[in-house]
Amino acid sequence: MPGEILKKKREELGYNLKEIAKALRIRSDYLKAIEEGTFEKLPVAVYTKGYIREYAKFLKADAEIVIKAYIEKITPPVIDPITPAENTVKEEKAAHRYSVTAITLSAVAVAALLTVLSLFVFVSEEPKTLLPEKRSPTPAALQPGSQVQEKENTGKAKTEVAANPQGEKTAREHSLEILASDKTWILATIDNTQTKELLLNKGESAKLSAKDGFSLKIGNAGGIKLIFDGNDMGVPGENGKVITLNLPSDKKFNR
């Protein structure tokens, strides 16, 4: 269990939970729940992974190993469905039956073809003279060089130009720079498809880009400053406040 790894490391280093909670600014009952494996007492999984990562770094343990053990603990086992042997036998019998039917139909088709060919060989017919096919004259208005034809060609060319305009530019991407003045956890959703989890310490920064925009969940609104598309948006909220922010929709922050 991940908690056993951290508890053993803490006891080896001689720390108690209150000392670590004060240093990391994480509630001591959260650290205790991590060690005891009572994850139902903790917040959502993204917060819990952040707490485990910080706790492991403080104890100089491998954070990825501990988080992997946590994920395996909370993830239910997947049982692969077993295909009954009876179904396999039925499928093999059906395939064999279809193969026999296909061979029989092929033999019948070949016999029918040979019969038709034999009729062509033994039955003779007098040659017939084919008359030349009559074709309707092309209207003068549609002949090459006519005014109607030229108008149709001109209209078609204009339609093609309108459907494929030259010099069309691709949409400009949005940019977001996050500057941390205090430790802050951020969950960023990019274009409603890609999710990134960030944990920035004081003095650290991160840069993101998107085609449509960003959805941000910020754990410490007063601990960061945002620069969106080159514009300084300032601090989005108060210290310790958890907020949700959508850019470019939220041009002004509600404080």
Residue found under tokens 């956890």: 185
Give residue 2's pLDDT.
77
Give residue 27's pLDDT.
94
Tell me what percent of the residues of the chain surpass a pLDDT of 90: 38
- pLDDT higher than threshold 70 for residue 163: no
**Edge-to-edge strand ranges of the sheet holding 214-218:** 194-200, 184-190, 214-218, 243-247
Q: At 9, list the tokens.
A: 């490391």
> With bands split at pLDDT 50, 70 and 90, how would you rate the model's confidence at 142?
very low
- pLDDT higher than threshold 50 for residue 128: no
Residue found under tokens 């992997």: 68
User: What average pLDDT does the chain have?
Assistant: 75
- pLDDT higher than threshold 70 for residue 80: no
User: In angstroms, rounded to a whole number, what is the distance separating the alpha carbons of residues 47 and 24?
Assistant: 14
What is the three-class DSSP state of 174? strand
What is the three-class DSSP state of 110? helix
CATH assignment, 2-74: 1.10.260.40
Give residue 11's pLDDT.
92
Q: At 183, list the tokens.
A: 């430790």
Give residue 88's pLDDT.
56
Give residue 39's pLDDT.
86
Q: Per-domain residue ranges for the chain?
A: 2-74, 174-247
- pLDDT higher than threshold 60 for residue 194: yes
pLDDT tens track for 12-46: 999 999 999 999 999 999 999 999 989 888 888 88
The pTM score is 0.40
> With bands split at pLDDT 50, 70 and 90, how would you rate the model's confidence at 103?
low
**Backbone φ/ψ region at 131: left (φ over 0), alpha (ψ -120 to 50), beta:** beta
Give residue 167's pLDDT.
43
- pLDDT higher than threshold 80 for residue 104: no
Fold type of domain 174-247: Immunoglobulin-like (2.60.40)
Mean pLDDT of 63-91: 69
Q: DSSP state, 201? A: P
